[in-house]
Structure 1
Amino acid sequence: RLMTYYECAMMEVETKFRVLDAEFGLQHDRNPIESIKSRLKSTDSLAKKLVRKGFPMSVDSIEENIYDVAGVRVVCTFPEDMFSLAESLLSQDDVQLIERRDYVASPKPSGYRSLHLIIEVPIFLEHEKRSVKVEVQLRTISMNFWASLEHQLRYKKELPEEETAAVAAELADLAETAADLDRRMQALRNYLDDGEE
């Protein structure tokens, strides 16, 4: 039942983003969202996380302590789109912000960049209304491309320590290259937008 609640909350959040994308398309003649994906953590993964973090093994414990059971990833065209979509989502009166982590302003040491929001949204059931937490990740196409490849490479094989360090350094450098691509594409789009005014 709990997993169904999380599934409903993901659908709710996806719908909110689809509506924002459609409205943005009408106003600006382009859509800011490239793709939306959602995922539900498996019960096995949840159990491991509870053990790792030292939380009790119960349904209540999942609800109280694990904020990323339901996840929605929104891939945007440009960096500014990520932040304007986040702002629009958070300004909705039924969305409550629980936590915000800006890995664009402060990338992880690996080079990972993304905007993470933990939000709470209401779901309306037959006889009740429940608030459910959902993790939202907003990324650009290049951030998503980098993160997908980094995930594949990192879990590819066991490497000797010196090779692991070299791979990590190369990935961090590639993350900077991807961020530079985003900055340049954003600047070009801003230049072209200004020329149309």
Structure 2
Amino acid sequence: MEDSSAISRTDFAELRTEFSRFMMLYQFGIAELMTKVNILKDEFTHINQYSPIEHVASRVKTPESIMRKAERLGIPITIEDISKNIFDIAGVRITCSFISDTYRIAEMLTSQSDLRVIEREDYIANPKPNGYKSLHLIVEVPVFMSDRVSYVPIELQIRTIAMDFWASLEHKIYYKYNRDVPAELLDELTEAAAAAHRLDVKMERLNDEFAKIKALPHPDDESVELELPTQFLNALRLQRGL
């Protein structure tokens, strides 16, 4: 007869391996999405000499946080139930310069053929009652494992610098007061959200005005030939029939 303690240790080892593999999928999913974001950022920086992406951050919930959320939502504590019902285990946040940039980046990412958009919440156009603004997407990212392809859900948040500053402050205040924030502070937070929105609108307008001015021809402008090796330039001319 097999020792029951040995069976227990075997079961525990199998569960630990299964859970580690489960958590690794989300780390790999973030790595895949971060690669896509960083490619866009580098392309903008090197080709356009301007990137609408100011900052990118990522995180994976801790096992304790996952369990707490599952209990709060009444989800059975199994890997299958958690994976089917909790979609923000992994998250990526992109901070942009302007409101228009948030939609621009979202469109560029979600138009990629290997990403699946399963949920979209536009809290920029429709802010939460407390003033919170951000563009939220749940996207499924393909992760190519040794024996299969898994589509991993990742929460993608895209917001402006002003929105991110406000959200960070709001989170700290809620944490400090254990979510029981005094009414006067809530009112001030709402006012601060409105001020952040006014700043976003003003900065967007200034950027549009600057773009218009930059597009105008300047009398002192001279055509500048790109400094490339002569052999490369000749090859380009031949290719174009020049």
TM-score by length of 2: 0.77
Please, which of 161, 168, 187 is the counterpart of residue 169 of structure 1? Answer: 187
Which of the two has greater strand per residue? 1
Report the secondary structure of 1:30's partner residue: coil
Report the secondary structure of 2:201's partner residue: helix
Q: Which amino acid aligns with 1:52?
A: R
Task: Write the mapping of 1:93-132 to structure 2, written as runs, cut at 5 A.
Answer: 93-132=113-152
Match for residue 97 of structure 2?
77
Match for residue 210 of structure 2?
192
Q: Which amino acid aligns with 1:191?
A: E
Distance 1:87 1:170 in 2: 33
Task: Write the mapping of 1:12-161 to structure 2, written as runs, cut at 5 A.
Answer: 12-157=32-177
| Structure 2, unpaired ranges of 5+ | 1-20, 216-242
Q: Which amino acid aligns with 2:39?
A: V
Aligned residue pairs total 195
Please, which of 173, 179, 184 is the counterpart of residue 197 of structure 2? Answer: 179
Higher relative contact order (CA 8 A, sep 6+): 1
Seq. identity, %: 42
Superposition CA RMSD, Å: 1.5
Larger radius of gyration: 2
TM-score by length of 1: 0.95
Distance 2:137 2:165 in 1: 20
Distance 1:87 1:28 in 2: 18
Q: Which moved more, 1:29-38 or 1:92-101?
A: 29-38
Distance 1:193 1:23 in 2: 20
Report the secondary structure of 1:106's partner residue: coil
